[in-house]
Chains A and B, each alone.
Chain A
Amino acid sequence: MNKEQALFLLVFLPLIGAAILPLIDRASVKLRNLTAFTLVFASFLLSAFILPTVIGGREINIILNLPLGFNFILTADILAVFMAMVSSFISAIIILYSFEYISHYENQREYYFMVVLFLGAMMGLVFAANLILLYVFWEITAITSWRLIGFFREKQHVLRADKAFLVTVFGALVMLLGFIKLHSETGSFDLAAIKAAVKAHSISNLAIGLILTGILAKSATLPLHTWLPDAGVAPSPVTALLHAAVLVKIGVYVFARLFIATMPLGALWHAIFPVIIGLSALVSAGAALVETDLKRIIAYSTVSQIAFIFLGFSMGNEIGIAGGLLYILMHGLGKAGLFLCAGIIEQRTKTKDITQMGGLIHVMPVTAISFLFCAFSVMAIPPFGGFFSKYMVIAGTLQAGHLAIAGIFLFGALLTLMYLFRTFNMIFLGEMNKVPVSGSSPLMVFCVALFAFLSLAGGCFIQYPNRIVAAAVQQMTAKPL
């Protein structure tokens, strides 16, 4: 198998495979679950398979020219492969977790179809090197996310699913307008052609602003962030998959793809953007501090952490960008772990209100320790993985000379520490208020323990991911902007 075929397969295997899942479902539920897992894990293996080639400095391209500039172009560079590996790996573990979690509910057929389709669209988005193609995959992820948030079909849930869909689609439409403006300025939708055109003349601030709106909506950043906490009504694996580990990273990834690897952000937005994300980090951390719904706390925490990733990317120096990329990995692992823990807690206590919990460490020690480990990573306690990424982002900010912004974000990091400790304290320590229903599945506990372990291991063996990240940063910044 050559590398081009691998790239093609890793995008289209889940996309086409998703359509087959409902058919397999009729034969055997077990087989369907396994197929879903295999499809996603195959994407991970295939991205790992092409990693050595791209690290070696070769880009893998699949180019099909189509009318009106709506070309079909997939390009694998280090950034894309890194992102693909992170998303598909976390998704695979989450699917493993949902074998047990989802088995209690109806509409499983739709669940697996949507999750695998989502992952396929995510892979497509990561490798798309044409703005229209990117937009197509972007919206497919929005459709799947909408169906998955409304999974339980309760009236309130579906309303919130609609809200999430409308906000992200609104952002996407504004972004599409930005893409079309970009097309009218550079004459192409292809990233490579845009990159070449940008050298000659700069891009208008309007186009960049329009595109940024879409990115902020997708990544749930102030002022378009409220859909994310509301989306916590979805099943826990879905919140973990979509709203912590993978979907919200789409905005961040596209930011890196467009405004680091393709064109400069421009002076105006360089001044405004850090202020927006600084506010986003503080406001959402404050909200997380007063919320009592477990999943809303973690969701607000995501909004806050996303701002750190944006910060790293927007500083424009190597350490900041590298920190942002590592942050995607570490936050994905840690936050997915937290959401999955929340899923176990919710299924056993039948509540999401942390004021009604307490003392759970005695009945679910492994979950408690895993929660703590994942929380440590998100809080940035050394030697957990999250520490290195947060450190590098702040260091990048200082290097760029933004003392005040670095201060704001350090305060945000402090708030992270406070709200996560508060949450842990109220759930696991103290008096036991309510005796939970017995029996959580070993598979689910294994998955959260795996995330906890990886958060720790990610910190102890930081040099391995760092090698990929360093190469990615070099590739992104080496070419003249």
Chain B
Amino acid sequence: MTSLFIFAPFFLLVIINFPLGFLKGRCAFCLAASLLLAQVLLAAFHPWLFWSAYPDCLRQFFGFPLAVDNLALIMLFVIGIVALVSLLTAQDTLAGEKQKFNFINLLLVALIGMNATVLVTDIFSLYVFIEVTAMASFILIALEKGKFAIEGAFKYLMLSAIASVFMLTSVAFLLLTAGDISFAAVHHVLTNVPGSFFLKLAVGLFLCGLLIKSGVVPFHGWLPDAYSAAPSCVSVLLAGTVTKISGVYILLRLFSSVFTLTPALQNVLLFAGAISIVFAALAALTQDDFKRMLAYSSISQVGYIILALGCGTPLAFVGAVFHFFNHAIFKTLLFVNAASLEKRFGTTDINQLEGLGEKCPVTSVTSLVAMLSTAGIPPLSGFWSKLIIVMALFSKGRFIYAGTALIASIITLAYFLSLERRIFFNKGKPAPAAGGTATQISRGLNPAKNFSGIACAEILLAVFTIAGGLGYAFMLNTWFLPLKAIWH
């Protein structure tokens, strides 16, 4: 059953590429959307036991086993939601049928890669599917072939290549010393032969690769360029899932059940997390572009997840996954907001946008919800995950880190307030009599359609953010607290 998550997108990819005209346009979109919706629903409403109960008849096609647990289901859910939103955004923002069709194809490839990354149980297959995802995303970033887009894609490609070298070397070392690369075998060897130099080196190299992939400070250079140069619908996908799954998720997976978290590694993770939080938040304060600010904010929020991982307790792990989930939702929402502004006003430069609170009520309100959630203001969902992380750090005696994590929220709030103040929460200048960009901005290039895909996506995600915050107890009980069992 599990392999359905990989095969279904693959078959869809094959089907829509049959040389039949009617499959290309609207039909491809509908098929892809229903597939993603199905993934969301299946992941949300079926416990992991359901997936493991039946023998996997398709499994024999693969040379490697797949497994589903709660963590994987949460990830599948997130992937489904974000990909769906990205698809909706693409329908509204990309120009031309061909472009849209290319996007759907690449999205499906990325989906195969990400779903498989979540489900595999050995380190080599993990590496392979990270690369599948990465390949799709390089092309996606450069989809519109602009100068900056190519530059962004190239930077991402270069750093990913370095990360790949690190990870592949690490896999080789593990294979040499452990003799097997399944998660269980590696874990067994790591716990029983703690002193081996090669093993330590392998873990260190893999960690470096993943930190580059996650865009943690000081490996963050590529991330703002890639996010802001990509088409908006692609930034949605990148920020919400691609870089998170192929970097942060794997960190979570490996350090929860494969690698052992030694005190030295803990310190590295804690330090990297705290530096990312503070540095990226300060950098975000100075940005003048909506998407660049969001990119820095993304680095800062990933810092929280890394920090929680470094804390190394089951509660902190729960907080990390919860924050991962929340971050995927609210950061995706913010990128959709950016897409909506870019579509209507042709720019994401904050200085050129003002007084839009009245003109785009949906974007204005939903972005406010997402921003407050990012800053960890209750009762929105971001507050609860931050609170759990801080509590976990505190109970472990990491007072300085706990204080830093909490007080850094004020910087997050500060840059989002400045964004909100400049774009939405002010009176726009009265439009000049004729011509000029100001008129374009104040009128809007493209008047908003009612119930466009973007607006639907915005409302959907905002509802998730608010409901997740109010129903935190339900979320914790059903999804996140059971994760404690996964931790070692």
A153-B426 CB under 8 A given contacts A139-B377, A162-B421, A183-B391: yes
Among listed A54-62, A166-174, A356-364, interface-contacting one: A166-174
From A162, A180, A181, residue with most partner B Cβ within 10 Å? A180
Residues of A within 8 A of B315 (CB): 68
Q: Closest chain B residue to A162 by CB distance?
A: B417
A173-B410 CB under 8 A given contacts A150-B425, A155-B426, A162-B421: yes
A177 and B402: CB pair below 8 A? Answer: yes
A177-B403 CB under 8 A given contacts A67-B481, A68-B476, A153-B357: yes
Task: Encode A176-199 as 1/0 by CB contact (under 8 A) with B.
Answer: 110011011000000000000000
Residues of B within 8 A of A273 (CB): none
Find B427's partner among A66, A153, A161, A177 (CB 8 Å cutoff): A153
B394 and A180: CB pair below 8 A? Answer: yes
Find A162's partner among B377, B418, B477 (CB 8 Å cutoff): B418
* Closest-CB distance, B295 to chain A (whole angstroms): 23
Interface residues of B in 443-488 (CB under 8 A from A): 472-473, 476-477, 481
Find B473's partner among A67, A169, A170, A174 (CB 8 Å cutoff): A67
Range of interface residues on A (Cβ < 8 Å): 20 to 34
Cβ-based interface call for B47 (8 A): no
B417 and A165: CB pair below 8 A? Answer: yes
| Cα-based distance from A67 to B391 in the complex (angstroms) | 13
A67 and B417: CB pair below 8 A? Answer: no
Cβ-based interface call for B35 (8 A): no
B377 and A181: CB pair below 8 A? Answer: no
A interface, over-half SS: helix
| Cα-based distance from A143 to B406 in the complex (angstroms) | 18
From B357, B427, B476, residue with most partner A Cβ within 10 Å? B427
Cβ-based interface call for A89 (8 A): no
Find A166's partner among B357, B378, B390, B417 (CB 8 Å cutoff): B417
Find A169's partner among B413, B425, B426 (CB 8 Å cutoff): B413
Residues of B within 8 A of A177 (CB): 390, 402-403, 406-407
Residues of B within 8 A of A283 (CB): none
Find A174's partner among B379, B387, B407, B421 (CB 8 Å cutoff): B407
Task: Encode B380-408 as 1/0 by CB contact (under 8 A) with A.
Answer: 00011001101100110000001100110
| Cα-based distance from A135 to B414 in the complex (angstroms) | 20
| Cα-based distance from A158 to B421 in the complex (angstroms) | 7
Cβ-based interface call for A140 (8 A): yes
Cβ-based interface call for A136 (8 A): yes
Cβ-based interface call for B272 (8 A): no
* Closest-CB distance, B368 to chain A (whole angstroms): 9
From A132, A135, A154, A158, residue with most partner B Cβ within 10 Å? A158
Cβ-based interface call for B372 (8 A): yes
| Cα-based distance from A136 to B481 in the complex (angstroms) | 21
Cβ-based interface call for B337 (8 A): no
B406 and A176: CB pair below 8 A? Answer: yes
Residues of A within 8 A of B402 (CB): 177, 180
Task: Encode A294-314 as 1/0 by CB contact (under 8 A) with B.
Answer: 000000000000000000000
B477 and A67: CB pair below 8 A? Answer: yes
| Cα-based distance from A161 to B424 in the complex (angstroms) | 14
A166 and B410: CB pair below 8 A? Answer: yes
Q: Closest chain A residue to B418 by CB distance?
A: A162
A158 and B378: CB pair below 8 A? Answer: no
Residues of A within 8 A of B403 (CB): 177
A184 and B394: CB pair below 8 A? Answer: yes
A68-B417 CB under 8 A given contacts A139-B377, A158-B425, A180-B394: no
A180 and B391: CB pair below 8 A? Answer: yes
| Cα-based distance from A155 to B425 in the complex (angstroms) | 9
Task: Encode A58-83 as 1/0 by CB contact (under 8 A) with B.
Answer: 00000000111010000000000000
* Closest-CB distance, B252 to chain A (whole angstroms): 20
Cβ-based interface call for A395 (8 A): no
Residues of A within 8 A of B377 (CB): 139, 142-143, 169
Task: Encode B146-189 as 1/0 by CB contact (under 8 A) with A.
Answer: 00000000000000000000000000000000000000000000
Cβ-based interface call for A9 (8 A): no
| Cα-based distance from A200 to B252 in the complex (angstroms) | 40
A181 and B394: CB pair below 8 A? Answer: yes
| Cα-based distance from A154 to B355 in the complex (angstroms) | 10
B372 and A165: CB pair below 8 A? Answer: no
* Closest-CB distance, A231 to chain B (whole angstroms): 15
A169 and B427: CB pair below 8 A? Answer: no
Q: Which residues of B contact A (CB under 8 A)?
A: 315, 355, 357, 372, 375, 377-379, 383-384, 387-388, 390-391, 394-395, 402-403, 406-407, 409-410, 413-414, 417-418, 421, 425-427, 472-473, 476-477, 481
Q: Which residues of A contact B (CB under 8 A)?
A: 66-68, 70, 132, 135-136, 139-140, 142-143, 150, 153-155, 158-159, 161-162, 165-166, 169-170, 173-174, 176-177, 180-181, 183-184
Contacts A/B (CB < 8 Å), 24 sampled: A66-B473, A66-B476, A68-B388, A68-B391, A68-B476, A70-B472, A135-B378, A136-B378, A139-B377, A139-B383, A140-B378, A143-B377, A150-B425, A153-B426, A155-B426, A155-B427, A162-B417, A165-B417, A169-B409, A169-B410, A170-B410, A173-B406, A181-B394, A184-B394
User: Which 7 pairs of residues, A with B, have the shortest CB-CB distance?
Assistant: A136-B378, A66-B473, A153-B427, A162-B417, A67-B476, A139-B378, A158-B421
A176-B387, A176-B406 known; 11 new pairs, CB 8 Å cut-off, are A67-B476, A68-B476, A140-B378, A150-B425, A161-B425, A162-B417, A166-B410, A166-B414, A169-B410, A180-B402, A184-B395
